[in-house]
């Protein structure tokens, strides 16, 4: 027999002004608020707003704003009492777990919200805002944050400081400006970032960037396929290593 004790929260009806919406939740989608307004009018409260022991909203921000829009004075809450006096990072972790599967969080959402709490993400968010018009989010994350996508979404990535990341970002952004995103495609840029970072060499990076621009200038056939481009750009690094040792 399973004797594990599962915590159970407390259901309450409270004044809506008692609730504290979170600044670290993702941006509110007004269309989603309107949909909840319609659902509340049609079906009533099928799902309570989840709060911690201090009535900070953990899940249900859109329902909260729908209720505010409707002028409701009282709302049902499910108080997760064991979440007591959480730090902002702890509360963000709970919010992410509750919400990410309900209304899909993008990498941009994770980056923005973690940037409020963590210096590595804050620095990377500044770079994202600088380069987002030309570089994909994936490319920017590879440039400036360490670790896998899982570690990134868990708030565990570390900022990559140093000349190489900034040089790559500036040069790749310039190439996109010059040749357009259609030709300088995101998957090629991500592969260039990976190969250059693996080389740990500024000189190798400059060589690779020059060869990549030659490819763009001459409409190289390998630009159109990631399966062709990946080994080719690795060959370019190998070529540099041979030339530099002569």
Q: What is the pLDDT of residue 155?
A: 84
Calpha distance 224→222 (Å, rounded):
5
Q: Tell me how crowded residue 71 is: count the other CB atoms within 10 A of its CB.
A: 7
Q: How confident is the model at residue 42 (pLDDT cuts 50, 70, 90)?
A: very high
Instruction: Note the pLDDT tens digit of each residue in 161-199.
Output: 889 999 999 999 999 999 999 999 999 999 999 999 999
Least confident piece of the model among 98-107, 128-137, 215-224: 98-107
Least confident piece of the model among 28-32, 36-40, 68-72, 197-201: 28-32
Predicted confidence (pLDDT) at residue 103 exceeds the cutoff of 60: no
Q: Tell me how crowded residue 194 is: count the other CB atoms within 10 A of its CB.
A: 14
pTM: 0.72
- What DSSP designation does 76 have? E
Q: How confident is the model at residue 128 (pLDDT cuts 50, 70, 90)?
A: very high
The fraction of the chain above a pLDDT of 70, given in percent, is: 95
Q: How confident is the model at residue 3 (pLDDT cuts 50, 70, 90)?
A: low
Residue 52, both tokens: 């911690």
Q: What is the pLDDT of residue 80?
A: 93
Mean pLDDT of 103-119: 83
Q: Are strands 57-59 and 10-15 parallel, antiparallel or unpaired?
A: unpaired
Instruction: Note the pLDDT tens digit of each residue in 49-89.
Output: 999 999 999 888 899 999 999 999 999 999 999 999 888 87
Q: How confident is the model at residue 160 (pLDDT cuts 50, 70, 90)?
A: very high
* 207: enclosing H helix or E strand: helix 202-217
Residue that wins the pLDDT comparison between 93 and 75:
75
Opening angle at CA 118, ends 53 and 107, nearest 5: 90
Least confident piece of the model among 110-114, 119-123, 171-175: 110-114
């Amino acid at each position: 027999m399973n004797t594990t004790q599962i915590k159970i929260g407390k259901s309450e009806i409270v004044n809506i002004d008692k609730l504290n919406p979170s600044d670290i939740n993702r941006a509110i989608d007004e269309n989603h608020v309107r949909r909840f307004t319609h659902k509340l009018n049609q079906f009533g409260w099928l799902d309570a707003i989840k709060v911690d022991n201090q009535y900070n909203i953990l899940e249900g921000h859109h329902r909260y704003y729908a209720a505010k829009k409707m002028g409701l004075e009282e709302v049902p809450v499910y108080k997760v009492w064991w979440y007591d006096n959480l730090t902002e990072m702890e509360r963000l972790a709970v919010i992410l777990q509750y919400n990410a599967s309900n209304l899909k969080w993008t990498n941009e959402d994770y980056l923005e919200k973690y940037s409020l709490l963590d210096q590595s993400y804050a620095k990377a968010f500044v770079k994202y805002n600088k380069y987002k018009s030309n570089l994909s989010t994936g490319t920017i994350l590879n440039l400036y944050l360490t670790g896998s996508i899982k570690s990134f979404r868990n708030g565990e990535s570390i900022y990559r400081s140093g000349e190489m990341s900034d040089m790559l970002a500036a040069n790749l952004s310039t190439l996109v400006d010059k040749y357009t995103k259609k030709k300088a495609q995101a998957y090629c840029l991500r592969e260039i970032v990976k190969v250059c970072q693996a080389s740990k060499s500024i000189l190798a990076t400059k060589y690779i960037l020059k060869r990549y621009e030659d490819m763009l200038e001459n409409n190289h056939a390998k630009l159109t396929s990631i399966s062709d481009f990946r080994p080719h750009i690795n060959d370019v690094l190998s070529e540099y290593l041979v030339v530099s040792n002569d």
